[in-house]
């Protein structure tokens, strides 16, 4: 096994951690902006395999990252399940809402997703053929709770309030939506693996707003079900889980779900995570994305500090969240040089 990401995911401690970056194909890169303009709009870019593969490859050509992550969006799955999806310029995604049992019944069954998502699988196939041989291809999906928050509210919300309200008022309908998303996500990620993805990542961007039993039922348990089902279908498949802002609940998450790696946001310190999370296996993270904007000596110092903190175990260097559109591409190179230097 020569790919450094796969070695880290298998539990190997490496002198220089492999590196990739969430949203590494994105608006901070001029070449991305040019390709997106060519596509016309964001969704058209997601569903155009040649162009989606091109933007996935751009940061690999520019920086030589150790992994490429499929260019897509977590809301393609609800669209494939029959939700209306569109993007308002400057405001983000909008969806038709699911707020009742009647709305849930109107969604398509999980087996119907592949017709809509076929272009995504084609993007994976293109990438599997075109990526350099030492670069790992990562597929991904949104975790059920996070995807559900968008489906229930019809948009992103600061506190996921509408989803929490439905969960409190009609737990049975809410749980049924989580179940549908859990099963559909298994099928979606499995199809990505069959098309050539070598690793999959589950993004639970709003996991931190679930507390106590709700965290167990709607963040941890779906991640466990998805991970276990994928490993039955694809023995040896590495899974990265990202329950963002889980804070103390990061501890034990890998053991409880079977994930091979836990990705960390920057609300926890690398020293704490090395003691409490890395003891169970690979960790990924967790430089504050703000450093990609501000740069300077602080970027280099903090990058080296994180590498040092995690040097005693398997580690994949990454940001604590996606790189932002206002980041300086030169700062990405500074970060890479600090990791590999």
Q: Which of 28, 150, 188, 250 is catalytic?
A: 150
Q: Which of 7, 23, 225, 334 is catalytic?
A: 23
Alpha carbons 118 and 126: distance in angstroms, whole number? 13
* Residue-by-residue DSSP string for 30-56: HHHHHHHHHHSSHHHHHT-HHHHHHHH
Residue bearing tokens 């700062």? 331
Q: Which of 27, 155, 247, 340 is catalytic?
A: 27
Alpha carbons 183 and 50: distance in angstroms, whole number? 28
Q: Which of 28, 32, 66, 73 is catalytic?
A: 73
73 is a catalytic site residue: yes
Cα 287-292-295 angle, rounded to 5 deg: 105
27 is a catalytic site residue: yes
Q: Are 178 and 186 in contact (CB under 8 A)?
A: no
Alpha carbons 277 and 285: distance in angstroms, whole number? 12
Alpha carbons 46 and 43: distance in angstroms, whole number? 5
Alpha carbons 252 and 248: distance in angstroms, whole number? 9
> Closest Cα partner for 247 from 221, 227, 273?
273
Q: Encoding tokens for residue 153?
A: 């509210």
Q: Are 8 and 282 in contact (CB under 8 A)?
A: yes
Alpha carbons 291 and 293: distance in angstroms, whole number? 5
Q: Encoding tokens for residue 240?
A: 């990265």
155 is a catalytic site residue: no
Q: Which of 7, 28, 32, 36 is catalytic?
A: 36
* Bridge partner residues of 137 (DSSP): 68
Question: How crowded is residue 79: how many other Cβ atoms within 10 Å of its Cβ?
Answer: 21
Would you please indicate which residues are annotated as catalytic (active-site) residues?
23, 27, 36, 73, 150
């Amino acid at each position: 096994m020569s790919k450094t990401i796969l070695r880290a995911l298998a539990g190997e401690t490496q002198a220089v951690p492999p590196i990739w970056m969430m949203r590494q194909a994105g608006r901070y890169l001029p070449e991305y902006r040019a390709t997106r303009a060519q596509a016309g709009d964001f969704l058209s870019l997601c569903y155009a395999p040649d162009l989606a593969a091109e933007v996935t490859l751009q940061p690999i050509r520019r920086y030589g990252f150790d992994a490429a992550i499929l260019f897509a969006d977590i809301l393609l799955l609800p669209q494939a399940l029959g939700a209306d999806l569109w993007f308002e310029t400057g405001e983000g995604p909008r969806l038709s809402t699911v707020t009742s049992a009647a709305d849930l019944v109107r969604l398509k069954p999980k087996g119907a997703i592949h017709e809509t998502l076929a272009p995504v699988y084609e993007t994976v196939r293109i990438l599997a053929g075109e990526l350099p041989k030492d670069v790992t291809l990562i597929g991904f999906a949104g975790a059920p709770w996070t995807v559900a928050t968008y489906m229930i509210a019809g948009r992103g919300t600061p506190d996921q309030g509408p989803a929490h309200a439905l969960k409190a008022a009609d737990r049975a309908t809410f749980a049924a939506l989580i179940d549908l998303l859990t099963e559909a996500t298994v099928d979606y990620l499995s199809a990505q693996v069959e098309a050539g993805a070598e690793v999959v990542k589950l993004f639970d961007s709003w996991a931190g707003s679930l507390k106590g039993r709700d965290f167990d039922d709607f963040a941890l348990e779906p991640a466990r079900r998805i991970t276990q089902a994928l490993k039955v279908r694809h023995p040896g498949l590495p899974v990265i889980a990202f329950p963002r802002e889980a804070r103390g609940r990061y501890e034990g998450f890998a053991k409880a779900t079977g994930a091979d790696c836990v990705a960390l946001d920057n609300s926890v310190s690398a020293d704490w995570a090395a003691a409490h999370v890395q003891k169970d296996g690979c960790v990924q993270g967790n430089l504050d994305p703000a450093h990609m904007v501000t740069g300077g000596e602080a970027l280099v110092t903090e990058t080296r500090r994180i590498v040092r903190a995690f040097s005693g175990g398997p580690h994949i260097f990454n940001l604590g969240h996606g790189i932002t559109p206002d980041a300086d591409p030169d700062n990405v190179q500074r970060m890479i040089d600090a990791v590999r230097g």
